[in-house]
Amino acid sequence: MDRFLLFALLILLGPPLLAESKPKTICQSLSDCETKADATTIHRKKITLLSFGLTEYSKDVPVQKLIPFYLKRVRSIILEANGDTGYKGEVILKVSHKPEYKHSQLIKAEDDLRFLESNHSYLSKEQSLELGELQSLLGQSK
């Protein structure tokens, strides 16, 4: 009888206990990713949230709606590559990156800027001004 009870419990409870857990989703939609990114000052966290949103939720979204994501992400990438962590408090935390890391981050920023430049016709006047500012910031970062 004990074996039967143990077998029955294993059959009923085994699959949920043995099932692989799904990776935790950091945001539920493109707008949720943007909201969470806007809520933090930490550049690496912003980059992660915006990148996840663009990767997971941008497939059927018009280019015009993606422009703000790219602008925010490229700004955070450049600032983070230059050592600005975004941490705020009594002490402002700045870091120095290895040249290889900084270079790889600036390449990512260039990719985002190329996307924005290739879709320049979708940018508002303010977004075009911000794009110019980001291009200048990237140039100063090299």
Amino acid at 94: K
Which 3 state secondary structure label does DSSP give 84? strand
Render pLDDT for 44-98 as a digit per residue (tens, 0 to 9): 999 999 999 999 999 999 999 999 999 999 999 999 999 998 888 777 667 777 8
Does any domain span residue 9? no
What is the 8-class DSSP label of residue 120?
G
Render pLDDT for 43-52 as a digit per residue (tens, 0 to 9): 999 999 999 9
Does any domain span residue 2? no
Does any domain span residue 122? yes
Does any domain span residue 30? yes
| Domain count for the chain | 1
Which 3 state secondary structure label does DSSP give 124? coil
The tokens describing 67, both together, are 């422009």
- The greatest distance separating any two alpha carbons of the chain, rounded to the nearest whole angstrom, comes to 77
End-to-end CA distance of the chain: 74
Does any domain span residue 108? yes
Q: What angle do CA 114, 112, 139 make, to 5 degrees?
A: 75
The whole domain housing 107 covers 25-141
Q: How far apart are CA 72 and CA 17, in angstroms?
A: 41
pTM for the complete prediction? 0.80
Does any domain span residue 10? no
